[in-house]
Amino acid sequence: MVERRGLMLVLSSPSGAGKTSISRELLSRDKNLFMSVSATTRPKRPGEIEGKDYYFVSPEGFEGMVTRGEFLEHATVFGNRYGTPIAPVEKALAEGHDVLFDIDWQGTQQIASKLPDDLVTVFVLPPSTKDLEERLKTRAQDPPEVVAQRMAKAADEMSHWDAYDYIVINRDLAQSVGEVQAVLAAERLSRRRLIGVSEFVSRLREGR
């Protein structure tokens, strides 16, 4: 009876803390939550699909998108560039759909500067440094030198935890997914996202 504007749900964490696994579970359970698709200059990994996982572009093509103001946020991570095209996100929000972002602190701050009222942020922490390193090693996607780089960067990434609305310590995947679902459910009821609620309440008070 009352329409709702969509929201942007950001999950951030150091690499290996579990935000990607949480994101996948959320998307499988919630049909009104859609993953934001970023453009990137990094090479495609085995199994990744163009337009679903990322838009793979050249460094020159990426720079052109930056110049034209086509990104909601963009950043450089481990030598590769990542950015979120703004047009599909704005369209989804206007239609009442929620958009999930798996991005770092830099990208989160850029979004906050542009669309703060639509933003909900969650930082995912590992239960321990040892656990984080083991997760990175068992992913088997990155060589040892990259794992070392990610561990070195983790402390800096975790220092930004206090810039986020909610904190989830990922001891157990199912529990963590449930906690983020609770955040999403509550934020969907936020008064500022309900379109026409003032008129709806007026009709109720008038007995209509």
Q: Is there a domain that residue 43 lies in?
A: no
In a domain, 50, yes or no: no
Domain assignment present for residue 64? The answer is no
Q: 103 vs 10, which has greater pLDDT?
A: 10
Whether the per-residue pLDDT at 178 is higher than 70: the answer is yes
Query: In CATH, what number is assigned to the domain containing residue 104?
Result: 3.40.50.300
Render pLDDT for 83-102 as a digit per residue (tens, 0 to 9).
Answer: 999 988 999 999 999 999 98
Is 70 part of a structural domain of the chain? no
Taking the C-alpha atoms of residue 51 and residue 126, their distance in angstroms, rounded to an integer, is 30
Report the pLDDT value the prediction gives residue 28, as an integer from 0 to 100: 97
In a domain? residue 61: no
Predicted local confidence at residue 133, as pLDDT: 73
pTM above 0.75, yes or no: yes
> How much is the pLDDT for 188?
97
Q: What pLDDT does residue 140 have?
A: 60
Is the residue at 166 inside a domain?
yes
pLDDT tens-digit profile of 113-156?
Answer: 999 999 999 999 998 888 887 777 776 667 777 777 778 788 88
Q: Which structural domain range is residue 129 located in?
A: 3-36+98-205
Supply the DSSP string of the chain, one letter for each residue.
--EE---EEEEE-STTSSHHHHHHHHHHH-TTEEEPPEEE-SPPPTT--BTTTEEE--HHHHHHHHHTT-EEEEEEETTEEEEEEHHHHHHHHHTT-EEEEE--HHHHHHHHHH-GGGEEEEEEE-S-HHHHHHHHHHT-SS-HHHHHHHHHHHHHHHTTGGGSSEEEE-SSHHHHHHHHHHHHHHHHT-GGGEETHHHHHHHHHTT-
Flag whether 116 is in a domain: yes
How many domains are contained in the chain? 1
Q: Is the pLDDT of residue 201 over 80?
A: yes
Residue 123 in any domain: the answer is: yes
Res 103 pLDDT > 90: no
Please report, rounded to a whole number, the percentage of residues in the chain having pLDDT higher than 90: 68
